[in-house]
Amino acid sequence: MLRYTVLRLLGAVPTLLLLVTLAFFLIRAAPGGPFDAEKALPPEIEANLRAAYHLDEPLVQQFVRYVGNLTRGDFGPSFQYRDYTVTELIATGLPVSFRLGLAAMLLAVLGGVAAGTFAAMRRNRPADHAVMAMAMTGISIPNFVLAPVLILLFAVHLGWLPAGGLGGPAHMVLPVIALALPQIAWIARITRGSMTEVLSSDFIRAARAKGLSDSEVVIRHALRPAMIPVVSYLGPATAAVLTGSVVVEEIFGLPGIGRYFVQGALNRDYTLVMGVVVFYGAVIIALNFLVDLGYAVLDPKVRY
């Protein structure tokens, strides 16, 4: 187990390096530059700005410099937020993004597992078909479409919740729902399929033969093995929530990392975009690693 853990950690290094390389050259291939939004600058001032940020160096030299700074934990200065480093901006937006992502993942897992289990226990009945139909609808609607619809319905027409901004817990309800609903749909479908298979197993028949109720059978015997496919999906689900939060934070006006990413991309703020990409990439790699370790908790055979 220790050897596997070390190998996985070492394998994450080239993955992250590949991500850094692709992001670095792709963003510089986009048209425009970080100082295009400025008023017409005299050539000498623009040249001084480019020299101050090492943008006058060859592209390969800039890349080597960036990777060297990255190994020391330095994401560099932001081109647009002149008084802040990228690390400071990420630290500022991280609490908002963390609360949003954590709440969305908790809601997705709890809601998806509950819906999938409910459907599996009523297999091929109208309730099962209704849950799966709603799940398919949730999968089909992306969160950048769902978010404005939620704002129009619950904030504009009904006036129950705020339309955006950062304030009390009520301000987080609509963003969390917008992020969580597609993942609830996916997890419900995965849970339903896994739970259906587990409920047809021999050890479940033995448990029912002992006189256990359906709820006792599910909670005490079926739920743990049925969660293995769900746990395997948590890695991609986390990636989907992180990337989805980029759009959702912008729509709801939340000052999280995702909003900084969108503004950085629009302003060609190379270091800010790179910092967010590297940070999100490291988080996704780490979470996928933790998901792999979680297999051993649910299924001891995985340890071998």
> Which residues have C-beta within 8 Å of that of residue 82, sequence separation ≥ 6?
none
Place of tokens 């000052």: 255
Asked if residue 136 has pLDDT above 60, the reply is yes
What is the helix, strand, coil percentage profile of the chain, to 5?
80, 0, 20
Q: What is the mean pLDDT of the chain?
A: 80
Retrieve residue 290's tokens: 């933790």
Residue 257 makes CB contacts below 8 A (sequence gap 6+) with 90, 93, 94, 96, 97, 245, 249, 276, 279, 280
278-282: Cβ within 8 A, 24+ apart:
278/16, 278/19, 278/20, 278/23, 278/70, 278/75, 279/90, 280/242, 280/243, 281/15, 281/16, 281/19, 281/20, 282/16
Return the CATH superfamily for domain 95-255: MetI-like (1.10.3720.10)
What does the pLDDT look like over 13-62, one tens digit per residue? 788 888 888 888 888 777 766 666 555 666 666 677 677 767 777 888 88
130 CB-near residues (< 8 Å, 6+ apart): none
Backbone angles phi, psi at 77, to 5 degrees: -85, 155
Q: How confident is the model at residue 36, as a pLDDT?
A: 60
Which CA distances in Å does 260 have to 74, 89, 94, 184? 18, 8, 10, 27
What integer pLDDT is reported at residue 304 of this predicted model?
47
- The residue whose two tokens read 């990337």 is 243
Mean pLDDT of 220-232: 78
Q: What is the 8-class DSSP label of residue 285?
A: H
Q: Where are the domains of the chain?
A: 95-255
Note the pTM of the prediction, 2 decimals.
0.76
